[in-house]
Amino acid sequence: MNTTLITGASSGIGEEFARQLARRGENLLLTARSADKLAALGEELSRTHKIDAQFVALDLTERDAPQKLFDETTRRGMEVETLINNAGFGSMGDFTEFDVERDVAMIDLNITALVALAHLYLPAMRERRRGAVINVASTAAFQPVPYMATYAATKAFVLSFSEALSEENRVYGVKVLALCPGTTDTNFFAAAHGKQPPKNITQTPAEVVETALAALARNKSHVVSGWGNFLLTEAVRFVPRSLTTRVAARVVRGRHQLTDGNSKPK
């Protein structure tokens, strides 16, 4: 059975991928840690769109989780035609105050699990000479972001990795796309212990997913969601990195009421 596998499908951008792809009639395998949310979403989408939407609840920071997921898709007779590596989280604040376990788990989820899943599912896509991988990066991939140092670095990895894989796999008829959303209205900020940004600077998950699916149809290797975000990611190429990094520090400090040791929170 042809299936689209979506990680981080229990909320935000991943849930929206599930909703838009279900409308297109795609069968889905939803994964995240929240079994109850996945079960409810899968049931709703199967009933409403007459598709097969199943779920597997697991924690992708565990080293054997990608292999378990792969084995489960094999056991269920699923051919994963599209892999959407969306699960991810961030942290906001002073790096020295982050919990080391959580920071390393971020790398495990945002990078290690994403790479492992690409390893596991790409060979069969190549053999079928058909398939797609969407890796969710971020506009934070384009420059260092102080107070989100580890997070931005994981997303820089995802962007570079995806563009390279896109080129390697093009000749096999397999597409690889890095999706780079800017600020999007999801649970991300609560999970990152940051402040929810104002609506006037956020996109909706629906806008982000529409952008991704349009870019995939156009065989793009990366796409930035939103014109304002696109212009910002282009502009940083013409400004010294030291300056863009300092400006980013001010913006994140101001928006999330952080201090730099010399200043008071705004």
Ligand X SMILES: NC(=O)c1ccc[n+]([C@@H]2O[C@H](COP(=O)([O-])OP(=O)(O)OC[C@H]3O[C@@H](n4cnc5c(N)ncnc54)[C@H](OP(=O)(O)O)[C@@H]3O)[C@@H](O)[C@H]2O)c1
- Given the rule CB under 6 A, which residues bind ligand X? 8-14, 32-34, 59-61, 86-90, 109, 136, 138, 181, 183-184, 186-188, 191
Catalytic, out of 151, 175, 195, 220? 151
Catalytic, out of 50, 68, 147, 155? 155
Q: Is 151 a catalytic residue?
A: yes
Give, for 174, the enclosing helix (H) or strand (E).
Answer: strand 174-180
Are the CB atoms for 79 and 4 separated by under 8 Å?
no
**Phi and psi at residue 205, to the nearest 5°:** -55, -35
Comparing every residue's Cβ against ligand X, the nearest one is 12
Q: Closest CB to ligand X among 130 and 160? A: 160
Q: Give the strand pairing for 28-32 and 2-7.
A: parallel
| Closest distance of CB 234 from ligand X, Å | 17
Q: Closest CB to ligand X among 87 and 133? A: 87
| Closest distance of CB 35 from ligand X, Å | 8
Q: Is 266 a catalytic residue?
A: no
Helix 35-49 with 12-23: angle, nearest 10 deg: 20
What CA–CA distance (Å, rounded) separates 148 from 254?
A: 13
Are the CB atoms for 178 and 163 separated by under 8 Å?
yes
| Closest distance of CB 83 from ligand X, Å | 14
Give the number of residues written for the chain: 266
| Closest distance of CB 136 from ligand X, Å | 4
Give the catalytic positions in this structure. Answer: 151, 155
